[in-house]
């Protein structure tokens, strides 16, 4: 199988143009791609985890009614639901840690998502918690309760 480098480069440019400013409340600049080009890059957006950002960028364009845009909108909706579930898990983990007198700090994905205009635009999968070295043994106890089984 040969790799068509010019074609791959052009798809990369289309993805970059589509995602440019997509994390802003109101993405700036015109999105100048055709429906055919959108159809070509939608699998790349979908598989890379950038589907919701793609939808955010497309939602106020003429491409909004295309099949590709509808697929990306479904990705956005799914990430919105996952975001709510993730936040509930984070709240539960921190409540359980507080009840065990463990100070913790939340970093990375969830904190980064707070800087986006919509939480669904930043997908995340894990909870990164930092605790004091003297508490290293205690979180296992606090998070091994049946109540923490879904965290």
Structure tokens of 27? 């993405």
> Across all residues in the chain, what is the average pLDDT?
84
Q: What is the mean pLDDT of residues 105-118?
A: 75
Residue range 1-6: mean pLDDT, rounded: 54
Tell me: the pLDDT tens digits for 7-19? 667 888 999 999 9
- pLDDT at residue 149 greater than cutoff 70: yes
124 vs 133: which has the higher pLDDT: 133
Gap between the Cα atoms of 48 and 82, Å rounded: 17
Under 8 Å between Cβ of 79 and 113: no
Torsion of CA 109, 115, 117, 121, to 10 degrees: -20
Assessment of whether the complete model's pTM goes beyond 0.95: no
- Measure the CA–CA gap between 47 and 51, rounded to whole angstroms: 8
Token digits for 124? 């995340």
Percent pLDDT > 70 in the chain is 88
Beta carbons of 68 and 43 less than 8 angstroms apart: no
């Amino acid at each position: 199988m040969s790799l068509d480098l010019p074609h791959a480069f052009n798809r990369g440019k289309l993805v970059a143009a589509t995602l440019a400013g997509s994390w802003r409340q109101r993405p700036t600049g015109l999105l100048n791609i055709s429906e055919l080009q959108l159809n070509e890059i939608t699998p790349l957006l979908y598989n890379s985890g950038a589907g919701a950002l793609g939808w955010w960028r497309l939602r106020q364009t003429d491409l909004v009614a295309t099949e590709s845009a509808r697929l990306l909108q479904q990705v956005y909706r799914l990430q919105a639901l996952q975001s709510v579930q993730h936040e509930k898990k984070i709240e539960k983990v921190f409540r359980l840690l507080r009840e065990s007198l463990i100070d913790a700090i939340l970093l990375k994905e969830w904190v980064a998502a707070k800087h986006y205009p919509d939480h669904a635009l930043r997908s995340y999968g894990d909870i990164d918690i930092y605790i004091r070295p003297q508490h290293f043994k205690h979180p296992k106890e606090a998070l091994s309760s049946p109540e923490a089984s879904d965290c």
